[in-house]
A and B are shown apart, each in its own frame.
Chain A
């Protein structure tokens, strides 16, 4: 198979700077060399490729928008988005790892943490020496995290945590968990280190989606943490939602990567698969699918690019991030399914990436705010009427 050349029907590269293109191409090559050769094996075994962590850290994929003093690259948001796009062309699980480490662990420590917390954690999270996870969702509170049950109580100059989190990416392999719990009725962020008494993080098994990513429960039973583990500037549901806005932004780009992988695979398959004496790409119905896929990818690219430029100017609103996440994941899943159809029976095999992407995108559609929640977020914004309850 010839080397992947990206998808750019609208000459969008003309809107990117030299360094943005170089970031994208570097991550693209990294994925070709390090992710694609191992991903099917990990997907089938249901394991995350731990060897990828130092390699990803080596080129600076963790917390890349944060300041250089923590060992980060200080990329702009468009370059960061392109990096996520390319990672997810490899696999949504690999992108999820980077999203959690960067947007859900390093970002809250950077934004809500003390200088001491930042100095202690950020360089090690950037270098991949430490892994983080983000615990917001609970068994009974997913779309409605404000109702969370997990509690923190002050005791002897520290805090005692009780409760349980579920569906936590990287939980079992994490050295530090950013945990959201109610302290005197207000949601606050806490850092809980692996090995703390009363804290366990068993892995959840039986997933048919995001199989190359670790998903875990976090259980807190009279788990005592020092006072210095509170993220002091966090306060209210707004704090975890600010983190989610970061991660959702990356997901909007990431979904494009999955869609591009599926489109690219379907296009080349359709050109070479002969039925009824000609390539299936020569049938109108196949062309309609391919054109739809490419058009949706192109629209998604434009959404992301402008969103990234707005974010770099400090003008992006969280509702706009919702629109990009909602739209791009929805269409990526549709594109993955169409690619599967075009490949016929071959579409279900692990020889091609499309079924894996399609299965992964089912999770991506649900996590970081379900499709419906983003509809309600944008709906409330434009009508002024909340329709959540």
Chain B
């Protein structure tokens, strides 16, 4: 069975990002980049399926050379092959989905996995767009899944509970935090990954449907205010929450 996992290379959520001088992209220097965490669950899921029933795991990423770092990490975790759809242009979810779909059409995997969202732009769109472009069934926000023969059963997180769905393969899944806590790459895996090539492909030129106009950081948090330290402060606290913060 052939598994494809699409991963994005994003700023570590623990690093502080700043808006760059153009006012519509982030300042990249001094920022640590990682595999988008949900995508990492997807890599782990693919590796576990492969270990259970054999097959091949191919990981792909759309973006600049910097994405190789994340592809390399996926190789070190144990994926068989990595492909960079090399493009330095500004990303747009539709354009990225188009580029990935073009390549996936040719690759024809049985299972295509994404993270449920990329933690940079948070569109939660690319996986589902790819499914639509390829005319494949999809299941989003999957916490765990099982594959038997040509079908997959996926446990999805829905508001207030769970839903179990079944789809025919090939199909697309977007993975949520759940059963697939990612492994550490082993030092041996890292050394083995060193020798594996990363294939570079030239995708069709980015076709953006959306243009970013500005990017702003949320206003700085005000210092906290201590209203009092005993029961006597409660009425004043309630008044402030109601009248000033307007949260109750």
Q: Which A residues form the contact surface with B (CB < 8 A)?
A: 2-3, 5, 18-19, 21-23, 26, 29-30, 58-61, 64, 68, 72-75, 79, 83
Contact = CB atoms under 8 A, between A and B. Distances in A.
A19 B188 CA distance: 11
A3 B14 contact: yes
Interface in B53-90: 68-69, 72-73, 76
B187 A61 contact: yes
Given A5-B32, A18-B72, A73 B193 contact: no
Contact of B184 (A18, A30, A74): A30
B186 A73 contact: yes
Contacts of B194: 18-19
Q: Which 4 A-B pairs have the closest CB atoms?
A: A60-B187, A3-B14, A73-B187, A73-B188
A60 B186 contact: yes
Contacts of B187: 23, 26, 59-61, 64, 73, 75, 79, 83
A22 B73 contact: yes
A154 B185 CA distance: 47
A19 B12 contact: no
B190 interface: yes
Contact of A75 (B69, B73, B184, B191): B191
B15 interface: yes
B193 A19 contact: yes
A18 B186 contact: no
B72 A22 contact: yes
Nearest to B72: A18
Given A5-B14, A30-B184, A73-B190, 4 more contacts: A3-B12, A3-B14, A19-B191, A26-B190
Nearest to A71: B188
Contacts of B68: 18
Contacts of A21: 69
Interface in B188-231: 188, 190-191, 193-194
Contacts of B12: 3, 5
A26 B15 contact: no
A145 B190 CA distance: 39
In this complex, the member of A22, A23, A61 whose beta carbon has the largest number of chain B beta carbons within 10 angstroms is A22
B155 to A, nearest CB: 25
Contacts of A29: 184
A83 B187 CA distance: 10
Nearest to B194: A19
Nearest to B68: A18
A22 B14 contact: no
Given A5-B32, A73-B190, A59 B76 contact: no
Contact of A68 (B69, B184, B188): B188
A30 B188 CA distance: 15
A77 to B, nearest CB: 13
Given A26-B190, A60-B186, A19 B14 contact: no
A19 B193 CA distance: 8
A19 B186 CA distance: 11
Nearest to A61: B187
Contacts of B193: 19, 22
A71 B193 CA distance: 16
21 contacts: A2-B14, A3-B12, A5-B15, A5-B32, A18-B69, A18-B72, A19-B72, A19-B76, A21-B69, A22-B72, A22-B190, A26-B76, A26-B190, A29-B184, A58-B186, A59-B187, A60-B188, A73-B186, A73-B187, A73-B191, A75-B191
Nearest to A60: B187
Nearest to A18: B72
Contacts of B15: 5
Contact of A26 (B14, B69, B185): B185
Given A18-B69, A19-B193, A73-B190, A59 B14 contact: no
A115 to B, nearest CB: 22
A5 B12 CA distance: 10
A27 B12 CA distance: 17
Nearest to A68: B188
B200 to A, nearest CB: 15
Report which residue of B14, B32, B73, B190 has the largest number of chain A beta carbons within 10 angstroms of its beta carbon: B190
B34 to A, nearest CB: 8
Interface in B7-29: 12, 14-15
Contacts of A19: 72, 76, 190-191, 193-194
A120 B238 CA distance: 72
A253 to B, nearest CB: 15
B78 to A, nearest CB: 13
A181 to B, nearest CB: 34
Contacts of B188: 60, 68, 72-73
A26 B190 CA distance: 10
A72 B188 CA distance: 7
A79 B15 CA distance: 24
A363 B191 CA distance: 33
